[in-house]
């Protein structure tokens, strides 16, 4: 059970860690100063959630690794984030499409985990739920604004939705590791989250005059460490400093 719990915590943590890194890299590259601040704050929320989940994973694992080791010393095959969060920021519309999908997934996820029989996980989720709710408000507002905007913004937002949709199924991939924890009342049942996700996305896209692709290639594998090429570029940027100065105090 404890090894399954560590795996599950890493999956939850890594979504936040990798997305937080992506968003942090966008600071100073947003369309305006206010969005620079917003993207930094959303990224910070994700990094904060990752820290608490990684610290708890380290405690359950009890193998002498701490949260920093887990974030900075694992290689690509050991990172268990969904392939969605590592997708690159082609333009602001792609960034917002990715964020909408993550937010629409994390709101029901954290709501379910708030009731987890694992009290530590429930506490982290109760905190994170308020943040995810707020993130969704921002991402949904932007998707509607761009989708229901000019022809140019509509087309780019539609392109962002179509591109990011290829990686959405990976959020909901589940296996025996999770089944065991769902049965114990610890983990959220990923298949049950999908309905809530689909409803939220449909509501936002209708308002935004955007459409989901009828039939889309789906790339999965992130939960077992099979990533797209982009994670391999992101990790060195995130980890090199820590690896070069191991044991340094900041």
Partner 1 sequence: MVMAPSVPSFDGRSPDEISFEEICDAVGRVPDPEVPVLTIEDLGVLRNIEQLDGKIVVTLTPTYSGCPAMKYIDDGVRSVLAEAGHTDAIVNTVFSPAWTTEWMSQEGKEKLVAYGIAAPHSVSAAPTGSVMFTRRRPVACPQCGSTDTSVISEFGSTACKALYRCKSCSEPFDYFKEI
Q: Which of 11, 22, 46, 74 binds partner 1 (CB under 8 A)?
A: 46
Segment lying near partner 1 (by CB under 8 A), choices 5-13, 170-178, 186-194, 202-210: 202-210
Smallest separation (angstroms) from partner 1 to the CB of 111: 11
Q: Per CB under 8 A, does 141 bind partner 1?
A: yes
CA distances from 73 to 37, 103, 186, 237 (A): 29, 27, 27, 13
- What is the C-alpha radius of gyration for the chain, rounded to an integer number of angstroms? 18
Q: Which of 26, 38, 72, 184 binds partner 1 (CB under 8 A)?
A: 38
Q: Which of 88, 123, 149, 225 binds partner 1 (CB under 8 A)?
A: 123
Of residues 180, 230, 160, the one with CA closest to residue 4: 180
| Sign of the dihedral defined by the CA atoms of residues 155, 32, 98, 232, in that order | positive
- Nearer CB in complex with partner 1: 134/226: 134
CB atoms within 10 A of CB 31: 9
Tell me how far the alpha carbon of residue 112 is from its chain's centroid.
16
Tokens encoding 227: 């990533």
Tokens encoding 240: 């090199």
Smallest separation (angstroms) from partner 1 to the CB of 230: 23
Give DSSP secondary structure letters for 105-172.
HHHHHHHHHTT-SSHHHHHHHHHHHHHHHHHHHHHHHHHHHHHTS-HHHHHHHHHHHHHHHTTSGGGG
Q: Which of 96, 112, 144, 201 binds partner 1 (CB under 8 A)?
A: 144
Q: Which of 7, 14, 21, 52 binds partner 1 (CB under 8 A)?
A: 52
- Nearer CB in complex with partner 1: 35/61: 35
Q: Per CB under 8 A, does 24 bind partner 1?
A: no
Q: Per CB under 8 A, does 186 bind partner 1?
A: no
Q: What single DSSP character describes residue 17?
A: H
Q: Per CB under 8 A, does 192 bind partner 1?
A: no
Interface residues with partner 1 (CB under 8 A)? 34-35, 37-38, 40-42, 44-49, 51-52, 107, 119, 122-124, 126-131, 133-134, 136-138, 140-141, 144, 203-204, 207
């Amino acid at each position: 059970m404890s090894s399954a719990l560590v795996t599950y915590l890493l999956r939850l943590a890594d979504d936040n860690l990798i997305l937080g890194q992506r968003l942090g890299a966008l600071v100073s590259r947003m369309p305006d100063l206010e969005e620079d601040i917003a993207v930094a704050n959303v990224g910070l929320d994700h990094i904060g959630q990752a820290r608490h989940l990684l610290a708890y994973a380290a405690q359950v694992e009890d193998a002498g690794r701490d949260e920093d080791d887990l974030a900075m010393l694992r290689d690509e095959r050991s990172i268990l984030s969904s392939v969605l969060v590592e997708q690159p920021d082609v333009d602001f519309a792609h960034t917002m499409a990715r964020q909408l999908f993550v937010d629409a997934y994390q709101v029901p996820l954290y709501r379910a985990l708030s009731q987890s029989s694992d009290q530590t996980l429930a506490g982290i989720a109760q905190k994170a739920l308020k943040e995810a709710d707020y993130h969704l408000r921002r991402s949904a507002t932007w998707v509607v604004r761009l989708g229901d905007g000019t022809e140019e913004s509509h087309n780019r937002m539609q392109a962002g939705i179509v591109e990011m949709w290829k990686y959405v199924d990976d959020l909901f991939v589940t296996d025996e590791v999770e089944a065991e924890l769902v049965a114990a009342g610890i983990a959220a049942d990923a298949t049950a989250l999908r309905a809530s996700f689909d409803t939220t996305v449909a509501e936002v896209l209708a308002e935004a005059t955007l459409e989901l692709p009828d039939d889309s290639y789906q790339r999965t594998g992130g939960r077992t460490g099979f990533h797209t090429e982009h994670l391999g570029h992101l990790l060195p940027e995130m980890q090199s400093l820590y690896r070069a100065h191991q044991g340094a105090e900041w």
